[in-house]
Structure 1
């Protein structure tokens, strides 16, 4: 005999479904039509650091969405925290975004159909940043710390939310201690030609990155309850690159022996040599390039960027992704 639910029971399940819909974490398949990117040289589309194609271009193509890039090479989160003469997130990229949004240069983007990403921190914690004591002085005379740079990047979510954005992907820092610039086996190169203790650098960088990433996760978890209707994803760039370091054959596919220590463009300088194009360089060519994890002493290769793009394309498409945790 067929059983019928009472009206009150039907209402209960309807409300339960509504609550589950409201509380659902992450974005739904087919929901995202636009990708807006912020960050530093790891994300800069106009001047790709891999001397090829930046990951956002690949990701937008893989996921078939429109790309609106604002990331700029050399950027920190704020030049008021770690000064560099480059277009920072808060003093340049965000103002550019809001200006284009206001004057119509940027098309009107439906917040429900747009994913906003941020990948920053490499310059904040690096040489001429926190690692070498070049952060700003606080009122009490102390230097800023990784807590300040991370708080700045987390504030990007709040700032964008208040402007109407609702879908966010926060990309944490990669294991910079394993880049050729910051590894214990590093050599004098374009990014630093002064004397240094490479062992000290790699230990300090590991501490800055791991603590910064943990602080970012905790700060985002604390922020999420104040952002009703938002979807905030935490993309574990650190874990992805650690996996590429440990299992290069799963990611690299070039015609040279796989290499996760020496970059495809390796330029050796002399101590105190001016940072112009005077170093002795060895550069891989053609399909050999896809055998390398690093393009140069600081930046991922184009093949590594394709892997980042592949993972983020899954996020854009609303698929479950190994490296992404949805906090809301």
Structure 2
């Protein structure tokens, strides 16, 4: 009987890792699916109505959106399962082997100091540390050789950088705002990001995409800083500078790191076009949030007494920071188009629409 039990465990482990490709996601609030909701002292949590109103049962699920994130949609369209948050109560070794893990944390950045005003959040280095712990769990579960194969076949998403500007460099309370020039700060970010991506490579990351930044100066939170309500030109130039440098970095890493297929997902132009010409994409508002607190701006996050726009599909922005589900879909489809993603799990069909998807994903 004991030998039969051991055989069954081996067969189960083999089934879990045989050709199953999962995602490991590192990011900020644009990709967080619930980690910050478990950080009790964090000031950046999407745990209030009306977050998640168009996803699953309509209750807050940790996404800073009315529906799906860009990573959700790309995974759905390419046949990859939606990884649960690292701090999700249901996370286990078996779940990791089937779905992967999402380490993204609202307020997090490439730099350790970024987002410190939110008190609790996972910076990129902390997320990588949590990933290392995850690897150790899987190695103990299925053995080092099988674990190495599993992690090398996985897909990796890195979606960070906007907080390093919005909640660091552009705020005078941070020393980086007076320590660096605009170009100097971007160089600092790139040197840090290079070390982080090399560390991920040493941990097995071979198929990796870094999401670029959109027109950050056009988010409602930035527009409100201008008496005219226009986009902040300097902030947008910082995003463009980041994208140019990051694209070059990813190209160099792909050429120099063994077996690395590192890509840069840039949707800046299409998002800019959506903002400039919203009606061409079915929107009627691209400068203010759907979820707002009347004339009190910025309200920063949705709260239970916030007022929702009449038609959420007509707004580019969900709140002061984050795009709506429909806008995220446009961004995701642009990245898929540019990078020509294929479906690694051939038998997987796309996940359900946000209205039908289970809220626990």
Larger radius of gyration: 1
Computed over aligned residues only, the root mean square deviation of the Cα atoms, in angstroms, reads: 3.5
Question: 1:63 offset after TM fit, Å?
Answer: 2.2
Deviations, residues 266-322 of structure 1 (Å, cap 9, x unaligned): 335658x9979889843125xx11111100111100111223344455654269xxx
Could you tell me the TM-score, scaled by structure 2's length? 0.64
Q: Which runs of 4+ in 1 moved over 6 A?
A: 196-201, 273-280
Which consecutive unaligned segments of at least 5 residues does structure 2 have? 1-18, 35-61, 84-100, 345-361
1:91 CA drift (Å): 3.8
CA distance in structure 1 between the aligned counterparts of 2:23 and 2:299, rounded to whole angstroms:
39
Secondary structure at the counterpart of residue 145 of structure 1: helix
What corresponds to 1:8 in structure 2? Answer: none
In structure 2, the partner of 1:142 is: 179
Q: Which residue of 1 aligns with 2:290?
A: 264
* Alignment of 1:92 onto 2:126: yes
Work out which of the residue numbers 40, 47, 61 in structure 1 matches 2:28. 40
1:296 corresponds, among 294, 319, 340, to 319
Deviates more, 1:101-110 or 1:171-180: 101-110
Q: Check the 8 A contact 1:176/1:205 in 2, yes or no.
A: yes
Distance in 2 (alpha carbons) for counterparts of 1:115 and 1:276: 31
Structure 1 distance, partners of 2:150, 2:107, is 30
Q: How does 1:91-240 map to 2 (within 5 A)?
A: 91-104=125-138, 108=147, 110-126=150-166, 128-136=167-175, 142-143=179-180, 145-183=185-223, 186=224, 202-240=232-270
Is the contact made by 1:131 and 1:204 (CA closer than 8 Å) also made in structure 2? no
Cα 1:295–1:106, aligned 2, differ >3 Å: closer, same or farther? farther
Aligned length: 269
C-alpha distance 180-32 of structure 1, shift in aligned 2 (>3 A): farther
Structure 1 gaps, min length 5: 1-30, 188-195, 320-328
SS of the residue aligned with 1:37?
strand
Question: By how many angstroms is 1:216 displaced?
Answer: 1.6
Is it true that 1:72 corresponds to 2:105 in the alignment? yes
Q: What are the Cα deviations for residues 132-180 of structure 1, in whole angstroms up to 9, with x where unaligned?
A: 2344469xx9347232223323433211111111011111111011111
Which deviates further from its counterpart, 259-268 or 227-236? 259-268
Cα 1:302–1:81 change in 2 (3 A) is closer
- Structure 2 vs 1, CA of residues 200 and 292 (structure 1 numbering), >3 Å: closer, same or farther? closer
- Out of 231-240 and 259-268, give the one that drifted further: 259-268
Deviations 1:181-209 (A, max 9, x none): 112xx26xxxxxxxx77789813212221
Are the equivalent residues in 1 in contact too, given 2:111–2:192 (CA < 8 A)? Answer: yes
What secondary structure, in the 3-state scheme, does the structure 2 residue paired with 1:129 have? helix
SS of aligned partner of 2:254: helix
CA distance in structure 1 between the partners assigned to 2:112 and 2:221 by the alignment: 23
Instruction: Provide the C-alpha distance between the structure 2 equivalents of 1:270 and 1:99, rounded to a whole number of angstroms.
Output: 43
Any conservation in 2 of the 1:269–1:279 contact (CA below 8 Å)? no
Is the CA contact 1:32–1:112 (under 8 Å) kept in the aligned structure 2?
no
Q: Tell me the equivalent position of 1:10.
A: none
Report SS of the residue matched to 2:196.
helix
Instruction: Provide, for residues 2-56 of structure 1, a one-character-per-residue CA deviation record: whole Å limited to 9, x for no partner.
Output: xxxxxxxxxxxxxxxxxxxxxxxxxxxxx98222211100011221111333333
